[in-house]
Amino acid sequence: MEARQQGQELAIPTDTQDRDTLIRELWDLIVKQDEALDRLERLLGMEAED
């Protein structure tokens, strides 16, 4: 499996602890993005579409 982010290859760790850390970090990024979109929608006077 191959993934790219900002022109760099994202290595998928084979070690379980490394993989769990990567999953947590990716989830944190998803949550931060969702929170940022919610703030933007509020600033623009839009309601969040869930």
Summarize pLDDT for 8-48 with one digit per residue, the tens: 677 777 788 888 898 999 999 999 999 999 999 999 987 65
> What pLDDT, on the 0 to 100 scale, is given for residue 43?
92
Per-state percent for the chain, helix, strand, coil, to nearest 5: 55, 10, 35
Of 10, 12, 30, give the one whose Cα is nearest residue 20. Answer: 12
> What pLDDT, on the 0 to 100 scale, is given for residue 9?
73
Q: Are 10 and 4 a contacting pair, CB within 8 Å?
A: yes
> What pLDDT, on the 0 to 100 scale, is given for residue 3?
47
> What pLDDT, on the 0 to 100 scale, is given for residue 47?
61
> What pLDDT, on the 0 to 100 scale, is given for residue 4?
47
> What pLDDT, on the 0 to 100 scale, is given for residue 15?
83
Domain ranges of the chain: 14-43
E-strand ranges in 1-50 read: 4-5, 8-9
